[in-house]
A and B are shown apart, each in its own frame.
Chain A
Amino acid sequence: MAESVTAEHEVHHPALQHHFENLEQQREAGTLGMWIFLVTEIMFFSAMFFAYTLYRYKFPLEFASASNHLSLKLGAINTVVLIVSSFTMAFAVYNAQVGRQRRLVISLILTIVLGLTFLGIKAVEYHDKYKDNLIPGQLIPGHKYSPATIHLLPGASPQYTEMFYWIYFAMTGMHALHMVIGVGLLSVILFFSIRGRYDPEYHNPVEVSGLYWHFVDLIWIFLFPLLYLLGRHIEHGGTPLH
């Protein structure tokens, strides 16, 4: 490798941080850093997936009954919204790579709007649960959990449906929190994109934000079938789960 003498007189990109040797190293570090952060997020969600697995095995009928009470329509719309937002995000990253600032800005705006749409629909769903007294425990004073509105499958005990709902709220709540952070992150990126900070040589922040956004989308793609779809085949006359 070439002799690495401090090159004070070389012109370097204004975005290069002084402790890195060059932009390439900075980009590599930023990308690896985001991947590792996403690994920590996987571990964070994995504990809840474990609890889900355990309690679904213990209470299959209660889980199916409670799941069928969720709005399949809203859940499916949200899934489509997120998948489209991942597409617009990928488009944004592409535009940053080729230096098309206007399209980059538009793609980011679309992604943010879709993200906010997702959160809005989620808020509607949460409100429905609140009206049906399905918020677990005594989280909302005065609205203790009540399984009265759930159509129970034969053999299901009403008191164990609460298990499903705390997992539902924990998992979708955590996910929604990460969406909010994602929207905030993209807003910052949008701000800098409008200011013209990114060019084909330096656009790593857009790339790593894209990684984060795709990850949050991916978590939802796991959550949707596990939470919304697990009992639908029974609803339509299939054989009961054991």
Chain B
Amino acid sequence: MQQEGYEIPTPSKVNYINAQYGLKSWLLTKDHKRIALLYLGSVTAFFFFGGVYAMMIRIELLTPRGDFLSSATYNKVFTQHGILMIFFFLIPAIPATLGNFLVPMMIGAKDLAFPRINLLSWYIYILGGIITIWALLSGGVDTGWTFYAPYSTTFSNTYVVLTGLGIFINGFSSILTGLNFIVTIHTMRAPGMTWFRLPLFIWSHYATSLIMILGTPVIAITILLLAFERLARIGIFDPAIGGDPVLFQHLFWFYSHPAVYIMILPSMGVISELIANFSRKNIFGYKFVAFSSLAIAVFGFLVWGHHMFVSGQSVYAAMIFSFLSFAVAIPSAVKVFNWTATLYKGSISYDTPMLYGLGFIGLFLIGGMTGLFLASIAVDVHVTDTYFVVAHFHYVMVGGTLMGYLGGLHYWWPKISGRMYPEGWGRFAALVVFVGFNLTFLPQFVAGYLGMPRRYHAYPPEFQVFNVLSSAGATILGIGTLIPVIYLVWSMRYGRHAEANPWHLPGLEWRTPSPPPTENFIVSPVVTWEAYEFAPPEEMEVVGTTHHRPLEDAPVAGD
């Protein structure tokens, strides 16, 4: 709509970063973008902390004998690697950094629905993190991140309750973020932003938020019961007074399986953005991709028993879980096909974010399909609790979530920081990560099928060759993840300044200066275009300065 006789304000030099200075203005901010940066820093710190533990594991496993770490220490190291990576990196990484930054912008809002709750959720995350680190530094925990009873309730002599407290508190951070996203997406979309004009990043985060609010309370109560059992010796999971240790597994996995979808769905949302935008094409089958996200969220709650095929559950329960586990794979497959079809007749560039996006497709394929091996009970009986499972979940979590995170970080870096990262280094790092990652985890599939159990710090010599390859790969992978930290930090000071829409894309987040002003948009947007509707650059400028095409000329994109 033309705004005759109305002066369009010129974008000023004030943006959300330089609007206010001082530590207090950051630590007491209500701006979702600043909170996203607070998360970015803390999430990165936890990633490298967890990465240090990973390196210790891989160094130990270079040789068949347990000669680098004592048995007790090794058990703590793999436990803590799992806890830090899962609860303090993988679950918050994309939603709390990219999600917090982008959800309001993509829907044309000024902020999330509850900005103070957003800040509170960061403080809760930090509090949970500090308590967990305190437990780790006091002596650590050695139960495995899965905390199975009765080992965790009765036999472990480590800081189980304290670590549990840290994770319990951290869970509320997840719940509040999810709550905020759902309310925001429902109630604060800009005029004209209908549900089916939303970017698929928003659909993914909506589905993720559903899982966050429904699943996280269950792990909270599970940890509480575990703590009570340990402190008061009540006997909830103790067979001597009639309790059932397998009950713990049911309660634990009821959350922890949907949790893995909390980790992957946001990444899939990022990939949808990368594939569509770097092919300059509408996503093929937009509605199918959108509904697949919801289907994954729903089905994800029905399959927890596939972690328990050998724990003594009934044959019929096992069959049902197996069937549903195959069913939950189908929406993911549908997404992969739709992304591939999006590339057809596109205009594809090889920028760093796209490299991560394409890498995701290959790695997620392998990770997802090896999941099907695990859904087949007969094979699962052989490979469960071996390195086959370790390889599977690292393919989806690192090959999936981490690639999406890095890809998204690079893609939106100009918007977040106002600077471009160095493209050559970006492509190089992506390649290093891809190669390092595959070298680390592909041999583990073989070792697993050969029978190498997980959580072993000493192993029979015939498994050594796979472990050496894996450790070599891990070193390369570790270096590959360090390189972006260096050049991204460098770019904040020395990088080329980025304009509002450096990639020339139609999304609402690109229709405002880089970095954006605190209130996100100079003029509140009114949306009259479909999702991923590409147009010449002059039609995709800052909102309020655009000449919109008449609707009749708009091509029909997707459904």
Q: B113's contact among A29, A59, A159, A160, by CB below 8 Å, is which?
A: A29
Decide if A163 touches B241 in the complex (CB within 8 Å). Answer: yes
- Which residues in B have their C-beta under 8 angstroms from that of A33? 113-114, 179-180, 183
How many angstroms from the CA of A163 to the CA of B238 in the assembled complex?
A: 11
- Indicate whether B495 reaches chain A with its CB closer than 8 angstroms: no
Nearest chain A CB to B124's CB is how many angstroms away? 14
Decide if B179 touches A51 in the complex (CB within 8 Å). Answer: no
Decide if A18 touches B221 in the complex (CB within 8 Å). Answer: no
- Indicate whether B216 reaches chain A with its CB closer than 8 angstroms: yes
**Chain B interface: which of A39-47, A91-99, A118-126, A148-156?**
A39-47
Decide if A160 touches B218 in the complex (CB within 8 Å). Answer: no
| Size category of the binding interface on chain B | 35 or more
**Chain A interface: which of B228-236, B278-286, B458-466, B471-479?**
B228-236
**Chain B interface: which of A131-139, A180-188, A191-199?**
A131-139
Decide if B191 touches A1 in the complex (CB within 8 Å). Answer: yes
Decide if B182 touches A36 in the complex (CB within 8 Å). Answer: yes
- Which residues in A have their C-beta under 8 angstroms from that of B217? 40-41, 43-44, 47
Q: B213's contact among A25, A36, A139, A160, by CB below 8 Å, is which?
A: A36
How many angstroms from the CA of A160 to the CA of B235 in the assembled complex?
A: 10
* Residues of B371-411 contacting chain A, CB below 8 A: none
Decide if B175 touches A4 in the complex (CB within 8 Å). Answer: no
Decide if A44 touches B523 in the complex (CB within 8 Å). Answer: no
Decide if A18 touches B242 in the complex (CB within 8 Å). Answer: no
- Which residues in B have their C-beta under 8 angstroms from that of A46? 218
Q: B186's contact among A32, A40, A44, by CB below 8 Å, is which?
A: A32
Decide if B523 touches A43 in the complex (CB within 8 Å). Answer: no
Q: A19's contact among B109, B220, B233, B244, by CB below 8 Å, is which?
A: B109
- Indicate whether A54 reaches chain B with its CB closer than 8 angstroms: yes
Q: Which of A18, A29, A37, A50 has the most CB of B within 10 A?
A: A29
Decide if A25 touches B187 in the complex (CB within 8 Å). Answer: yes
Nearest chain A CB to B119's CB is how many angstroms away? 13
How many angstroms from the CA of A54 to the CA of B244 in the assembled complex?
A: 10
- Which residues in A have their C-beta under 8 angstroms from that of B243? 163
- Indicate whether A28 reaches chain B with its CB closer than 8 angstroms: yes
Q: Which of A36, A48, A58 has the most CB of B within 10 A?
A: A36
Q: Which of B112, B243, B526 has the most CB of A within 10 A?
A: B243
What number of A residues sit within 8 Å (CB to CB) of B?
41
- Which residues in B have their C-beta under 8 angstroms from that of A4? 190-191, 524, 526
How many angstroms from the CA of A158 to the CA of B416 in the assembled complex?
A: 64
Decide if A159 touches B241 in the complex (CB within 8 Å). Answer: yes
* Residues of A84-108 contacting chain B, CB below 8 A: none
- Indicate whether B251 reaches chain A with its CB closer than 8 angstroms: yes
- Which residues in B have their C-beta under 8 angstroms from that of A138? 232-233
Decide if B187 touches A28 in the complex (CB within 8 Å). Answer: yes
A-B contact count (CB 8 A): 117
Known contacts A40-B217, A48-B221, A136 near B234 by CB under 8 Å: yes
- Which residues in A have their C-beta under 8 angstroms from that of B308? none
How many angstroms from the CA of A159 to the CA of B238 in the assembled complex?
A: 12
- Indicate whether A207 reaches chain B with its CB closer than 8 angstroms: no
How many angstroms from the CA of A172 to the CA of B190 in the assembled complex?
A: 44
- Indicate whether B21 reaches chain A with its CB closer than 8 angstroms: no
Nearest chain A CB to B87's CB is how many angstroms away? 17
Decide if A5 touches B186 in the complex (CB within 8 Å). Answer: no
Nearest chain A CB to B194's CB is how many angstroms away? 11
Known contacts A36-B182, A160-B242, A162-B241, A44 near B220 by CB under 8 Å: yes
* Residues of A1-31 contacting chain B, CB below 8 A: 1, 3-6, 18-21, 25, 28-29
- Which residues in A have their C-beta under 8 angstroms from that of B254? 47
- Indicate whether A130 reaches chain B with its CB closer than 8 angstroms: no
- Which residues in B have their C-beta under 8 angstroms from that of A44? 217-218, 220-221
Nearest chain B CB to A38's CB is how many angstroms away? 10
How many angstroms from the CA of A45 to the CA of B523 in the assembled complex?
A: 45
Nearest chain B CB to A42's CB is how many angstroms away? 8
- Which residues in A have their C-beta under 8 angstroms from that of B188? 20, 25, 29
Decide if B215 touches A43 in the complex (CB within 8 Å). Answer: yes
How many angstroms from the CA of A136 to the CA of B526 in the assembled complex?
A: 61
Nearest chain A CB to B146's CB is how many angstroms away? 17
Known contacts A4-B524, A18-B110, A46-B218, A29 near B183 by CB under 8 Å: yes
- Which residues in A have their C-beta under 8 angstroms from that of B214? 39-40, 43
How many angstroms from the CA of A144 to the CA of B238 in the assembled complex?
A: 17
Over the window 101-131 of chain B, the binary record of Cβ atoms lying under 8 Å from chain A Cβ atoms (1 yes, 0 no) is 0000000011111110000000000000000
- Which residues in B have their C-beta under 8 angstroms from that of A20? 188
Over the window 187-201 of chain B, the binary record of Cβ atoms lying under 8 Å from chain A Cβ atoms (1 yes, 0 no) is 110111000000000
- Indicate whether B1 reaches chain A with its CB closer than 8 angstroms: yes
Decide if B111 touches A162 in the complex (CB within 8 Å). Answer: no
Nearest chain B CB to A58's CB is how many angstroms away? 7
Q: B182's contact among A32, A54, A160, by CB below 8 Å, is which?
A: A32
How many angstroms from the CA of A45 to the CA of B243 in the assembled complex?
A: 19
- Indicate whether A166 reaches chain B with its CB closer than 8 angstroms: yes
How many angstroms from the CA of A47 to the CA of B112 in the assembled complex?
A: 30
Nearest chain A CB to B167's CB is how many angstroms away? 15
Decide if B187 touches A29 in the complex (CB within 8 Å). Answer: yes
Over the window 50-87 of chain A, the binary record of Cβ atoms lying under 8 Å from chain B Cβ atoms (1 yes, 0 no) is 11001100110000000000000000000000000000
- Indicate whether B225 reaches chain A with its CB closer than 8 angstroms: yes
Please give me the residue from chain B that is nearest to A32 by CB atom: B183
Nearest chain B CB to A133's CB is how many angstroms away? 14
- Which residues in B have their C-beta under 8 angstroms from that of A18? 110
How many angstroms from the CA of A18 to the CA of B109 in the assembled complex?
A: 11
Known contacts A6-B523, A19-B109, A51-B247, A137 near B234 by CB under 8 Å: yes
Known contacts A3-B526, A5-B6, A163 near B232 by CB under 8 Å: no
Decide if B526 touches A1 in the complex (CB within 8 Å). Answer: yes
- Indicate whether A170 reaches chain B with its CB closer than 8 angstroms: yes
- Indicate whether B222 reaches chain A with its CB closer than 8 angstroms: yes
Nearest chain B CB to A78's CB is how many angstroms away? 23
Decide if A162 touches B523 in the complex (CB within 8 Å). Answer: no
- Which residues in A have their C-beta under 8 angstroms from that of B110? 18-19
Q: B234's contact among A28, A37, A40, A166, by CB below 8 Å, is which?
A: A166
CB<8 Å pairs between A and B, sample of 6: A3-B3, A39-B214, A51-B225, A54-B244, A137-B228, A170-B228
Known: A21-B524, A47-B217, A163-B235. 7 other contacts (CB 8 A): A1-B192, A19-B519, A29-B186, A33-B114, A33-B180, A41-B217, A46-B218
Closest 9 CB pairs of A and B: A44-B217, A137-B234, A137-B232, A19-B111, A43-B217, A139-B232, A1-B191, A19-B110, A47-B221
Interface residues of A (CB under 8 A from B): 1, 3-6, 18-21, 25, 28-29, 32-33, 36-37, 39-41, 43-48, 50-51, 54-55, 58-59, 136-139, 159-160, 162-163, 166, 170
